[in-house]
């Protein structure tokens, strides 16, 4: 808080979906996101790592109010988006943009590149036709595409990397403050992926962008993030600076994720055991700590009581009763109120 107001402040965000059985009878409630809190400072990149079913994509969409979360607050530059309606929400949302995983799925196949990138400018009635044309040229060059060569093409005439650049150009056209990237490079080949990652980094430096960077690949997330949050079954289990999460993971799930990454060094010994079993159902999540059913350190306490986020090292917080590297003192101190992920 001493840093002044964060760009984005998310508190106790909850998103649930009702599953209907035959005949429309309420079958259960999927607890997709259950009380997630984090901050993003201006110019900062927060990475969120999670596996399929962890709720990371739902989290991204809830932040953008698409759809609106069930409860909690999303404060962007001092305004709570959850309370905004209609044009007020639209005016704020132009500062928040999103890049999706499948570039071909998120670009209209019948439109030309130039029109795709101009669409947000038209939607927000920015400038006149000539000004918009200039802006489109400008952002296409910014993402490394040639307006003359690529502007008139259709998405199918582009490679995967080029199509993703178009999606990025569209996202930056309105000069947003924050871009939410949901698996934005996951479908690209490794050499193209590296090019697009470097593009994200360049745009961050040149335009002062903040990112909420969501992916399943921990190494990839760490590459672009100032801080990394690990998500499991709708909750954040660890938040901290990328380096310290990697060098000294506190949550057993983070450890398991790190151990599962294939090392490019064949001489490195593979971790003997990775986590076993399957992700529990988000309709009936385990009581207490949601990871306890697969956790090697689980004890009775873990089933009885839900661990709260607490800061064990500077800026490095964990929600675990028995963190891996926490000192005894830190554990017993158990300052359960240290919930904030600020700094």
Partner 1 sequence: MSDALLEVDDLHVTFAGRGRELRAVDGVSYRVYPGQTLAIVGESGSGKTVSCRAVMGLLPQAAVVTGSARFQGLQLIGLAEDRMRQHRGADVAMVFQDPTRSLNPTMRVGAQIAEAVRTHRQVGRAQSREEAVELLRLVHIPLPERRCQEYPHQLSGGMRQRIMIAIALASRPRLLIADEATTALDVTTQAQIMDLLLELQAELGMALMLISHDLGLAASYADEVIVMYAGRIVEQAPARRLFTHVRMPYTQALFEAIPRLDRPAHSPLPVIGGRPPDLAALPPGCSFAPRCRNAADDCRAAAPPLTEQEPGHRWACWHPVDAYAGGSGGVVPPGYGGAA
In angstroms, what is the minimal distance from the CB of 219 to partner 1? 4
Closer to partner 1 by Cβ: residue 82 or 224: 224
Rounded Cα distance, 124 and 341, in Å? 34
Rounded Cα distance, 67 and 93, in Å? 13
In angstroms, what is the minimal distance from the CB of 223 to partner 1? 4
Closer to partner 1 by Cβ: residue 100 or 291: 291
In angstroms, what is the minimal distance from the CB of 63 to partner 1? 22
Closer to partner 1 by Cβ: residue 76 or 232: 232
Q: Do residues 79 and 92 touch, judged by C-beta distance below 8 A?
A: yes
User: Could you tell me the two tokens for 308?
Assistant: 């709260």
Residue 163 main-chain phi, psi, to 5 deg: -60, -40
Closer to partner 1 by Cβ: residue 112 or 222: 222
Residue 332: Cβ-neighbour burial (10 angstroms; 0-12, 13-18, 19+):
exposed
Closer to partner 1 by Cβ: residue 174 or 212: 212
Rounded Cα distance, 139 and 171, in Å? 10
In angstroms, what is the minimal distance from the CB of 194 to partner 1? 4
In angstroms, what is the minimal distance from the CB of 221 to partner 1? 8
Closer to partner 1 by Cβ: residue 86 or 277: 277
Half-sphere exposure of 22 toward its Cβ, with a 13 Å CA cutoff?
0
In angstroms, what is the minimal distance from the CB of 269 to partner 1? 9
CA 18 vs CA 15, 209, 304: distances in Å: 10, 35, 26
Sheet containing 71-76, strands listed edge to edge, beginning at the edge strand earlier in sequence: 26-40, 8-20, 71-76, 79-80
Closer to partner 1 by Cβ: residue 183 or 310: 183
Residues that bind partner 1 (CB under 8 A): 51-52, 159-161, 189-195, 197-198, 201, 204, 216-220, 222-226, 242-243, 246, 256-268, 270, 274-276, 278-279
Closer to partner 1 by Cβ: residue 42 or 194: 194
Buried b (16+ CB within 10 A) or exposed e, 186-216: ebbeeebbeebbebbeebbeeeebbbbbbbb
Residue positions counted in the chain: 343
In angstroms, what is the minimal distance from the CB of 182 to partner 1? 16
Rounded Cα distance, 142 and 100, in Å? 19
Question: Helical H runs in the chain?
Answer: 56-63, 86-93, 103-106, 113-123, 129-142, 147-150, 160-172, 190-207, 218-224, 242-247, 252-260, 300-304, 328-333
In angstroms, what is the minimal distance from the CB of 126 to partner 1? 30
């Amino acid at each position: 808080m001493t840093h002044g107001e964060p760009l984005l402040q998310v508190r106790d965000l909850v998103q649930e979906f009702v599953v209907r059985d035959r005949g429309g009878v309420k079958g259960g409630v999927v607890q997709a996101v259950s009380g997630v809190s984090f901050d993003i400072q201006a110019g900062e990149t927060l990475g969120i790592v999670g596996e399929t079913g962890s709720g990371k994509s739902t989290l991204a969409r809830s932040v953008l109010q698409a759809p609106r979360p069930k409860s909690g607050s999303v404060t962007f530059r001092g305004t709570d988006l959850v309370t905004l309606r209609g044009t007020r929400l639209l005016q704020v949302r132009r500062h928040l943009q999103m890049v999706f995983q499948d570039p071909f799925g998120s670009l209209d196949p019948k439109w030309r590149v130039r029109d795709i990138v101009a669409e947000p400018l038209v939607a927000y009635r920015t400038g006149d036709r000539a000004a918009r044309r200039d802006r489109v040229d400008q952002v296409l060059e910014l993402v490394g595409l040639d307006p003359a060569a690529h502007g008139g093409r259709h998405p199918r005439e582009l490679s995967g990397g080029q199509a993703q650049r178009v999606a990025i150009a569209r996202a930056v056209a309105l000069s947003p403050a924050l871009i939410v990237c949901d698996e934005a490079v996951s479908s690209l080949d490794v050499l193209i992926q590296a090019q697009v990652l470097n593009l994200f980094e360049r745009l961050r430096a040149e335009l002062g962008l903040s990112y909420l960077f969501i992916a399943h690949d921990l190494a990839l997330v760490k590459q672009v993030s100032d801080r990394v949050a690990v998500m499991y079954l709708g909750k954040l289990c660890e938040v901290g600076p990328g380096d310290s999460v990697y060098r000294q993971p506190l949550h057993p799930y983070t450890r398991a994720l790190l151990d599962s990454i294939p090392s490019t060094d064949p001489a490195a010994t593979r971790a003997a055991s990775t986590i076993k079993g399957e992700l529990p159902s988000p309709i009936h999540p385990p009581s207490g700590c949601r990871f306890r059913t697969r956790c090697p350190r689980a004890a009775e306490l873990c089933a009885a009581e839900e661990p709260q986020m607490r800061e064990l090292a500077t800026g490095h917080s964990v929600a675990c009763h028995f963190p891996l590297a926490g000192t005894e003192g830190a554990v017993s101190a158990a300052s359960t109120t240290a919930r904030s992920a600020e700094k």
